[in-house]
Amino acid sequence: MRIAIASGKGGAGKTCVTASLAAVWDGPLVAVDTDVEAPNLHLFLRPRITEERTAWLDVPLLTPEKCLHCEKCRDICSYKAIAAFAGRISIFPDMCHSCNGCFAVCPSGALTRGKRELGRLLNGSALDGRAGFLMGRTRIGESMTPPLLRQEQARLAELLAAQGGAATPDVLMDAPPGVSCPAVTVAREADVLLLVADPTPFGFHDFRLAHQSLVPLDKRICVVTNRAGATGNADGDAAVRTYCREQGLPHLGELPFDRAAAEQYARGGLVAELSPVWRGRFERLRDALRRLATEKEGGHA
């Protein structure tokens, strides 16, 4: 089972939820930080990193003396990574998506494969060896994260396959915030999407956008409200419940607004370890996710 913990905005609490779910998971598990532009799951799980790899993207390099100046490579490039100025071809590697179209149409072999560094992939173990851990981190200045995310998912598949005859671990993925390409790239790989709803006016607006953006993926979507019960925000809590009811979204619970929990999180602590009461909340959320994942196919929210 692969569960992506997502949110419509940064700061809704998805990393807090992911880390505490990992802490109470009572079976084989790999925790994955897919928020590669700003990874922070490691701050809470404190993994022991045992391997680090550089992720590369194939990009075209031009051999000018072989170029026929036919400009077919420029014409096929949808991302404007290849341009022609005064009859000369110029390549902008940072704009390349590695679709390989330019290689396919070049008639003279003037393009060869070079590499652009995307970032790093790090893996190891966390929670005293009870869970595997994987994270990605983009190169400073890298503008595209989906290619790195795809390589991270491939690395995850390698780690799961390496389990051999052992039971395949469940996967908790701390997804990128928002509803843009990185979030959708990760959501596509999940069996279940857990949306963390922030019941403030802005948070509720972004929560609805996230849900509407993810529905076309035809995944099982469920919701947990974070920071529920804040003074003066009863309408926000009610709005989340009403929306979930109207949309047929399983609302798996509410994590209350609690100063002690905020202080625990600010110190880099796991909220599930704050007290038996908090641990019980995340255990119930874990059990609800498992029940949802094992339901018969059909009726996706």
C-alpha angle 48-26-40 in degrees, rounded to nearest 5: 40
Residues of the chain above pLDDT 90, percent = 91
Q: Could you read off the pLDDT of 122-176 as tens digits, one per residue?
A: 999 999 999 999 999 999 989 889 999 999 999 999 999 988 667 889 999 999 9
Q: Could you read off the pLDDT of 221-272 as tens digits, one per residue?
A: 999 999 999 999 999 999 999 999 999 999 999 999 999 999 999 999 999 9
Q: Which residues pair with 253 in a beta bridge?
A: 224
> By C-alpha distance, which of 62, 136, 71, 58 is closest to 97?
58
Residue 4 has pLDDT above 90, yes or no: yes
pLDDT confidence tier of residue 42, bands split at 50, 70 and 90: very high
Q: In the prediction, which pLDDT does 301 show?
A: 44
Residue 297 has pLDDT above 80, yes or no: no
* Domains of the chain with CATH codes: 2-55+122-294 (3.40.50.300), 58-117 (3.30.70.20)
- Stretch 43-72: mean pLDDT: 96
> By C-alpha distance, which of 179, 155, 176 is closest to 5?
176
> By C-alpha distance, which of 39, 29, 24 is closest to 186?
39
